[in-house]
Amino acid sequence: MTRGRFISVEGIEGVGKSSNIEYIRDILVDAGIEVIVTREPGGTELAEHIRELVLDPQTKLVPLAELLLVFAARSTHVTQRIRPAIERGVWVVCDRFTDATLAYQGGGRGVSPELIYRLAAAVHGDLWPDLTLLLDAPVAVGMERAAQRSALDRFELEQAAFFERVREVYLELAAAHPVRIRRIDAAQPLPGVQAEIDNALTPLLKQTKNSC
Ligand code: TMP
């Protein structure tokens, strides 16, 4: 059986991840692909508990504790859901993965990338997304959209400088991994965003057709 593909979607707050993930799911389903949509931190019972804790503005966390919690969540998610799905031939669309840790805990909180890569190797070995869509927009655009949400979480309460550092790491990652990570201009009107997503998905969809 052909293994499923692993797609992650990344970006700072307010760049339209949720609606674009729905769009990606629809494209895959229309192509006859079995797909699960999941998220990080989250995706398993334990990881969803960890998510609540990590996003709660009342939770006081030092950066290292925050890092270990996101990896604890990821460990269950990879083992219980992501790997088994991929092995069954199912495609996984994940709202964030380890690039978010490099951007938020690395860029935002100042944790060393070496430590993050070591934990990543322990938690998911060589499993990295086949394709990462980085929805990118200036921080002011994202923050304005995110501010319209009813209750802000622990990260959404951060200042612009935090998100500038997060965005900078995302852009560095995209430059360092130009094949895996596709930057999508999320500040343009939706049809343009969707056209860029279509382009980014085409090679993966073609590979799948050819292998059938
Ligand atoms: P979101 O998925 O609704 O955007 O919220 C998840 C938040 O968690 C977001 O602010 C980014 C943050 N996060 C990290 O800080 N590190 C991580 O590894 C992941 C997956 C998310």
144 Cα: distance to centroid of ligand 1 (angstroms): 18
Ligand 1: residue of 155, 159, 170 to mutate (most ligand atoms within 8 A of CB) is 155
Mean pLDDT of 101-117: 98
**Separation of CA 153 from chain center:** 17
Ligand 1: residue of 50, 55, 96 to mutate (most ligand atoms within 8 A of CB) is 96
| Tokens linked to 162 | 């935090």
Pocket of ligand 1 (CB under 6 A): 13, 39-41, 70, 95-96, 100-101, 104-105, 155
Q: What is the pTM assigned to this prediction? A: 0.97
Q: Name the E strands within 72-159.
A: 91-95, 131-136
Q: Name the E strands within 81-188.
A: 91-95, 131-136, 181-185
Vertex 118 angle, CA 184 and 53, to 5°: 70
Compute the distance between CA of residue 28 and CA of residue 182 in angstroms, rounded to an integer: 18
Confidence of residue 212 (pLDDT cuts 50, 70, 90): low
Share of the chain above pLDDT 90, in %: 92
